[in-house]
Structure 1
Amino acid sequence: MSAIVLLGDINIDVVLDVPAYPAEGGEAIATAQTTALGGSATNTAIALARSRHRCRLIGRLGNDAWGDKALSDLRAEGIDTGWIGRDDAEPTQINVVAVGRTGERTMFAYRGANVQLSPGAFSDAVFDAAELFHLSGYALLQSPQSDAAEYAIDMAVARGIPITLDIPGGVVSELASGVRPLLPSLDTIVLADTDLSPLAGKPSGIDLDEAVRTLLDLGVKRVAVKAKEGLSWLYDAQGRESASWLPADVVDTTGAGDAFAAGHIHGRLAGMTRQECCRLANAFGALAVARRGAGRVMPTIDEAFALLRSADDLTF
């Protein structure tokens, strides 16, 4: 049976509901606290495992109790942890996630052991019988993890395995110059509309279509866009399609983009049309924002299909 290989951060999220942010030096009393498994690639892996895909996760954890907890939770979700190393010098990453009244999250993190993932930590056997390789953009921020990510890209390209890259919000300025040379190796890139211009190396405010065409001309085959006007788009050389966001009671946006990426990956592997991929990704995102935290509360494929049916969207 084929598998999806993922590379990226594994961390523990400490999620605090903070009704109002204090000034620097002040204090805020949270109204709720949740501690759970998280990390961009981790969240996507869990959503895909819950969509009946076999997943292998490449990463690194501290040799500490939080690392033990993360491994236990990943195994409970059926994810292959054989490619996750342990680090004696750096701790398991902890994210402090402050969630405001609107459900929007703000993160503070020390990336710890994740950054210490090196190319020598895994072999190309991780790609045996793999049908897709997914990379979180956080993995390209710092060396040696960025070296490991590029090493894995080379392995996947050599085997003809399609590669998806998820660009997290807020870090495109740090990633753009390094990502552009990688675009010919990528099947799909997932990002927000506000990140298109800097990634394409274009002035801010240019037309969305123009920015996407630049990325396609640079070699990526598909561009999945989360747009502010309540739409998501999927572009390829043959054209584009869009779908409207689905209504959701927003509780916490943590992991919503990771769930969105999982929807596109499932749609890509299932041979769905561009519009079907957009709608499925939107359903995953809508489900994710309606629950607290990410990790082991990520949506399932059955929940996503049920939401689409209830919205009179598509028949699956």
Structure 2
Amino acid sequence: MTEPRYDVIAIGNAIVDIIASCDDETIEELELNRGGMTLVDAPGADRLYEAMGPATEKSGGSAANTLAGLSQLGTQCAFIGQVADDQFGKVFAHDIRAAGIDFDTPMRAGDPPTGRCLIFVTPDGERTMNTFLGAGQYLPATALDESLIASGAILYLEGYLWDPEEPRKAMRRAIEVARSAGRKVAFTASESFVIERHGDDFRDLIDNGMIDILFVNESELATLTGEPDFEKGFDMVAPKVPCLVATRSAKGAVADAGGVRASVAAEPVAKVIDTTGAGDQFAAGFLSGFAKDEPLEKCLRRGAIAAAEVISHYGPRPEADLQALIAQKL
């Protein structure tokens, strides 16, 4: 097996995040799924955009956010995702390349436009996401650079992108390519609604040994297993994957790798401003340690520190120097 060129190659949604503060009444008036992620169509995205107050626009997408953190932590990364040949597509491509991440997926001509996620942040820092996937849901298997996928030590897959049929086929093919090359496959469940729709797929992947690293949060684990008790649910899945990582918000995080279990408390934060990207940056911190064969507890600590940084400000990507921050705290 050849030495990998990249530490992590990710496939995910290529989206521009539009983030605005709002009060709790706005969430109710717009009938939004508070604290969750809801898929919307183009008219729905336009309606919510009109209802937003002053907003900031930043390139996002779950897997792309994770790579942004990983790149800052000195990890060599590449991204595969679909944008349209439009202004938001150009913004996304510029931002991800400026973060030091290789991105060469050809732009898609015509409609639909590049995806966007409209994020409403309430005073408690909770984010309510409404995502128009746009061009991202048309990532075809033919757009995959299979030699690129085979050159990455870890293939990281975003659960959100499993929902549309075309990228789901692309991701299945990417798993085949990565495993044939002897690489590891990491999967983040992304959201409980994705598991509700595709739980049989995910359970088959797990049961057939196709996932090496599985990231879930507490509610996603319960949806995946049908077991509301966290410890029981964790014990159901842990023997089936080489590495299981479960985040529990303020209760910290737990991981199991080959029967070795570790846990960490949540990193203290003076004030939670916006929880957007918390799971994404946790994965970045964890994988940055995992890629260097660091002990499991240290990987979790890296994840907790990265997650704490991102929830202390607006936006899903780090603003502080993560490498310096982790070096200071570990």
CA distance in 2, matches of 1:75, 1:130: 18
* Residue 88, structure 1, aligned to residue 110, structure 2: yes
Give the TM-score taking structure 2 as reference length.
0.86
* Residue 274, structure 1, aligned to residue 296, structure 2: yes
* Residue 159, structure 1, aligned to residue 181, structure 2: yes
Q: How does 1:80-229 map to 2 (within 5 A)?
A: 80-171=102-193, 172-183=195-206, 184-200=209-225, 202=226, 204-206=227-229, 208-217=230-239, 219-228=240-249
Query: 1:232-287 CA distances to partner (integer Å, 9 max, x unpaired)?
Result: 10112222110000111211111111000111111111111111111111001000
What's 1:239 paired with?
A: 260
CA distance in 1, matches of 2:106, 2:22: 33
Gaps of 5+ in 2: 32-47
CA distance in 1, matches of 2:13, 2:274: 20
SS of the equivalent of 1:279 reads helix
CA distance in 2, matches of 1:227, 1:68: 36
State the number of aligned residues: 304
RMSD, matched Cα? 2.1
What's 1:286 paired with?
A: 308
Q: Which amino acid is 1:2 matched to?
A: R
1:176 Cα offset (Å): 1.6
Q: Which amino acid is 1:24 matched to?
A: E
SS of the equivalent of 2:82 reads strand
CA distance in 2, matches of 1:99, 1:173: 25
SS of the equivalent of 2:203 reads helix
Gaps of 5+ in 1: 309-313
SS of the equivalent of 1:211 reads helix
Q: 1:87 to 1:186 in 2, by over 3 A?
A: farther
Q: 1:296 to 1:231 in 2, by over 3 A?
A: closer
What's 1:2 paired with?
A: 5
SS of the equivalent of 2:294 reads coil
Q: Is the 8 A contact 2:159 2:191 kept in 1?
A: no
1:296 Cα offset (Å): 6.5
CA distance in 1, matches of 2:144, 2:103: 12
Q: Which amino acid is 2:5 matched to?
A: S
Give the TM-score taking structure 1 as reference length.
0.90
Q: Which amino acid is 1:90 matched to?
A: P
Q: Which amino acid is 1:209 matched to?
A: E
Q: Is the 8 A contact 1:288 1:299 kept in 2?
A: no
SS of the equivalent of 2:16 reads strand
What's 2:40 paired with?
A: none
Q: Which amino acid is 2:21 matched to?
A: D
What's 1:311 paired with?
A: none
CA distance in 1, matches of 2:157, 2:16: 19
